[in-house]
Amino acid sequence: MKKQFILTSFFVAGIALIEACSCFTSCGCKGAPEVSAYFDFEKLSVETKQGIGTESLRIQILPDSISYLAMQIPELPGFGFTTAAYGCSPLDPGHEGLKFPLTEINITADQAFNDTLPAGASLNALFLMTTEPYIDQPDREFGSAQVAPLNALETFPPFRGGYGSVFFLVTKEQPTDPALPFKFTITMSKSDSSSVAVTTGEVFF
């Protein structure tokens, strides 16, 4: 009888643990059947920094005019051993990242960067993008493992950490005429065929 009681206790504890873990990870045990898992943006905000290590220019980009898109989560059956208040942890809106992932980033300037890159030409080959969703080093240069070419969007999709993740573009290149004021336009194309552009203020090298 004692052995049967011990086995029953382990069984009940195991069911409670499974239920709690299921609720915690999905928040679907009758606690929050609908979660705004993805987000979209209509505008971008931009800041520039210079003189960090060997970087000649760092462009910080954040999504703006945010909208959240809900994802239905099926309710999981509960056995009554745990409660939603204990087992469920609400997820942040937009935690799954962009609803329409970026398919292309293009960078241009209003001045000729050099003899082979006139005003309006793509400057993508001169820039690298950060690979981590929450990277922020205001006073330190990014390491080689923290940046990648702009054509690596499928491997390192921007804003994949959800709204609040940070995205940077960096270059070490210098224009032929550093005395000229440059304004850089960054255009982000999304998988729904829409695009959003933002232009920096004047940058002097």
pLDDT in tens, 1-38: 555 544 445 444 555 555 445 444 445 454 455 678 89
Report, as an integer, the average pLDDT of 65-82: 62
Q: Is the pLDDT of residue 50 over 60?
A: yes
**Cα 137 to Cα 135: distance, rounded to the nearest angstrom:** 7
The amino acid sitting at 141 is: E
Nearest to 82 by CA among 25, 9, 5, 21: 21
Name the average pLDDT for the chain.
83
Cβ-contact 136, 52 below 8 angstroms: no
Report, as an integer, the average pLDDT of 194-199: 98
Instruction: Name the helix (H) or strand (E) containing 24.
Output: helix 2-26
pLDDT higher for 85 or 88? 88
Secondary structure class of 170 (helix, strand, coil): strand
Report, as an integer, the average pLDDT of 122-137: 94
Per-domain residue ranges for the chain? Answer: 2-199
Cβ-contact 180, 168 below 8 angstroms: no
pLDDT for the residue 24: 45
**Cα 87 to Cα 72: distance, rounded to the nearest angstrom:** 19
**Within 10 Å of residue 201's Cβ, how many Cβ atoms?**
11
pLDDT for the residue 88: 55
The amino acid sitting at 79 is: F
pLDDT higher for 81 or 112? 112
pLDDT for the residue 14: 52
pLDDT higher for 152 or 91? 152
